[in-house]
C-alpha cells in the first residue's frame, strides 16, 4: 500500500498569550509576554514568583459544568484545545472509528495529585475519593478528550515530558500515513502546578523575572502551562472535503541520547536533527526556519546552538532559529505541540515569531534568534526541535503544502 501524505487542517491552542489560533498568533508575532506573577498558589516561600499561567481560561466556555468536577485542569485545557482544532478544521468527529487522539504530557493532572496529598495529610487516606485518583494518570487527558468528542479510533497518551507533543504528532502521522486512521487530534497539555514549580526551582533552573533564550546573561526557564492540538488528516480526506491546509508533515525523528538525566547532549541533538532530515528526504539547504527548544537555561541554549552548527555548518548562523518559550515559558508536554502550531502559522503567513528579552549577544549562541521583533520571511520548510530530560529528543519537519 502506498504511503499517504499527511496534512494539518486544524489548530487549537490555549496559552498564556491567547486562547484560540488568532489571538495566540497575533500576540506571538507582536512579541507579547505571557509571564506574570503566579496566582494559583502561594509562592512566598520560593525565591521566584513568576510563571506562564493562563489567566483568562474559562472551562465553561468549552465543557458542561456537570462534567467539570471529574476533570483536572490539564484535561480541561486539552479538551478546549481539541475542540478548537476540530472547529477550526471544520471536521465532525462523533462516533467515528477512523479518528483518534494522541496527547503528550509531562506532569498530567498533577494538581489533582496535590489535592490528594492535602486530603490524605489533613483528613486521612480514606477521605481521598476514587474519582479524584482517576484523574491523575497521564492517560486521562487523552481518554477524556476521546470520551468528550466521541472518538472511537486510537486513543493514547505519551508521557515523554518536554518532547511529548512532537512524539504525539509523529505517532499520529504514522497512523494516518499507513492507513490505520484517517484523521488524528495530536498535541499536548500540562497545567501549572506546585510540583513542577518546586521541582524546577530546586534544580536552580528558573529565571527570577524573565526568560532570555540565547542571551549571554540568561538565567533560566519559566514554568508555564497550556495546550496545543493539531488536526492531522490524509491529503485525500482534506481534498475531498475542501479543507484548508496549513502545512504538510513530511517526517520526524526520535532519539534517546542516553547521556544524562537532565543535561543535554550535542551529539544527541545533532543526531535527531540529521535523522529527521534524512527521513523527510530533504537537505540542510532546504530548511528555512528552526523552532528551537530554547528554554533559556545556560546549558540548553549553548548545546542546541552547537548541535545546529554541527548539522548545518556555516549556514547555522543564517537560518532563523527562535524560541517562543521567551513569551510562553516552558509549557512542558504542550511545548512542542504549541511550537509546531507556530511553525504551521509561520509557513502560512510568512512571518517568523521572535525571541523576546534578547539584550546581550552570546558568542556561544551566535545564531539568528530573530531578536525581539518578528521577521517577515518566506518559510517553506520548518524544523521543530524538542529536547526532554533523559535525552528524549524529537524533531518534527513540516512543509508548505504544494
pTM over 0.85: yes
> Rounded CA gap, 141 and 155, in Å?
10
Considering the chain, tell me which residue range(s) the CATH 3.40.47.10 domain(s) occupy.
Answer: 7-240, 250-399
pLDDT in tens, 232-286: 999 999 999 999 999 999 999 999 888 777 778 899 999 999 999 999 999 999 9
Residue 344 annotated among the catalytic residues of the structure: no
| Residue 179: CB atoms within 10 Å | 13
C-alpha cell at 313: 555548518
Beta bridge partners of 392: 256, 388
Query: Which member of 49, 70, 131, 162 is catalytic?
Result: 162
CA 336 to CA 90: how far, in whole Å?
24
Residue 375 confidence class, pLDDT cut points 50, 70, 90 = very high
Of residues 143, 382, 138, the one with CA closest to residue 247? 382
Q: Which three cell numbers stand for residue 336?
A: 512542542
Question: What residues have CB less than 8 Å from 367, skipping those under 6 apart?
Answer: 214, 305, 308, 316, 317, 319, 321
Which one of 211, 305, 330, 369 is the catalytic residue?
330
Pick the CATH number of 7-240 from 3.40.1390.40, 3.40.47.10, 3.40.640.10, 3.30.70.100: 3.40.47.10
Average pLDDT, the chain: 92
- Mean pLDDT over 99-121 rounds to 77
Buried/exposed 207-230: b ≥16 CB within 10 Å, e otherwise:
beebbbbbbeebbbbbbbbbbbbb
Over pLDDT 90: what percentage of the chain? 80
293 tagged catalytic: yes
Q: Is the pLDDT of residue 172 over 70?
A: yes
How does residue 312 score in pLDDT terms, banded at 50, 70 and 90?
Answer: very high
Mean pLDDT for 72-97 is 91
Phi, psi values for residue 376, rounded to 5°: -75, 115
Q: Note the CATH number of domain 250-399.
A: 3.40.47.10
- Other C-beta atoms closer than 10 Å to the C-beta of 342 total 24
pLDDT tens digits, residue range 3-30?
A: 899 999 999 999 999 999 999 999 999 9
Q: Is the pLDDT of residue 180 over 80?
A: yes
Q: Does the pLDDT of residue 131 top 70, yes or no? A: no
Residue 308 has pLDDT above 80, yes or no: yes
Pairing mode, strands 381-388 and 289-291? parallel
Amino acid at each position: 500500500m502506498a504511503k499517504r501524505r499527511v496534512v494539518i487542517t486544524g489548530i487549537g491552542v490555549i496559552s498564556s498569550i491567547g486562547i484560540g489560533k488568532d489571538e495566540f498568533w497575533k500576540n506571538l508575532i507582536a512579541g507579547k509576554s505571557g509571564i506574570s506573577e503566579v496566582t494559583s498558589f502561594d509562592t512566598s516561600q520560593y525565591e521566584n514568583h513568576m510563571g506562564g499561567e493562563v489567566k483568562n481560561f474559562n472551562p465553561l466556555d468549552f465543557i458542561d459544568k456537570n462534567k467539570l468536577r471529574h476533570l483536572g485542569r490539564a484535561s480541561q485545557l486539552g479538551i478546549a484545545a481539541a475542540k478548537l482544532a476540530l472547529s477550526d478544521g471544520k471536521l465532525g468527529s462523533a462516533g467515528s472509528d477512523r479518528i483518534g487522539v494522541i496527547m503528550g504530557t509531562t506532569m498530567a493532572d498533577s494538581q489533582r495529585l496535590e489535592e490528594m496529598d492535602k486530603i490524605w495529610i489533613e483528613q486521612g487516606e480514606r477521605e481521598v475519593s476514587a474519582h479524584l485518583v482517576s484523574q491523575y494518570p497521564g492517560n486521562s487527558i487523552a481518554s477524556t478528550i476521546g470520551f468528550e468528542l466521541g472518538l472511537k479510533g486510537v486513543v493514547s497518551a505519551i508521557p515523554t515530558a518536554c518532547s511529548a507533543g512532537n512524539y504525539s504528532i509523529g505517532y499520529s502521522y504514522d497512523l494516518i500515513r499507513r492507513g490505520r486512521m484517517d484523521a488524528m487530534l495530536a498535541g499536548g497539555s500540562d497545567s501549572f502546578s506546585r510540583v513542577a514549580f518546586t521541582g524546577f526551582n530546586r534544580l536552580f533552573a528558573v529565571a527570577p523575572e524573565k526568560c532570555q533564550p540565547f542571551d549571554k546573561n540568561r538565567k533560566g526557564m519559566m514554568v508555564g502551562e497550556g495546550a496545543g492540538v493539531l488536526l492531522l488528516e490524509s491529503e485525500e480526506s482534506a481534498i475531498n472535503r475542501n479543507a484548508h491546509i496549513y502545512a504538510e508533515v513530511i517526517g520526524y525523528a526520535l532519539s534517546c541520547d542516553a547521556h544524562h538525566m537532565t543535561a543535554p547532549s550535542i551529539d544527541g541533538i545533532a543526531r535527531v536533527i540529521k535523522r529527521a532530515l534524512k527521513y523527510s528526504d530533504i537537505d540542510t539547504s532546504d530548511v528555512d526556519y528552526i523552532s528551537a527548544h530554547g528554554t533559556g537555561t545556560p546549558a540548553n541554549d549553548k548545546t542546541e546552538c552547537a548541535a545546529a552548527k554541527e548539522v548545518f555548518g556555516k549556514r547555522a548562523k543564517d537560518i532563523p532559529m527562535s524560541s517562543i518559550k521567551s513569551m510562553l515559558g516552558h509549557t512542558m508536554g504542550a511545548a512542542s505541540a504549541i511550537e509546531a502550531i507556530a511553525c504551521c502559522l509561520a509557513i502560512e503567513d510568512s512571518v517568523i515569531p521572535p525571541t523576546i528579552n534578547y539584550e546581550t549577544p552570546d558568542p556561544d549562541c551566535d545564531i539568528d534568534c530573530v531578536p525581539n521583533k518578528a521577521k517577515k520571511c518566506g518559510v517553506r520548510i520548518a524544523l521543530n526541535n524538542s529536547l526532554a530530560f533523559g535525552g528524549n529528543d524529537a524533531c518534527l519537519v513540516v512543509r508548505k503544502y504544494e
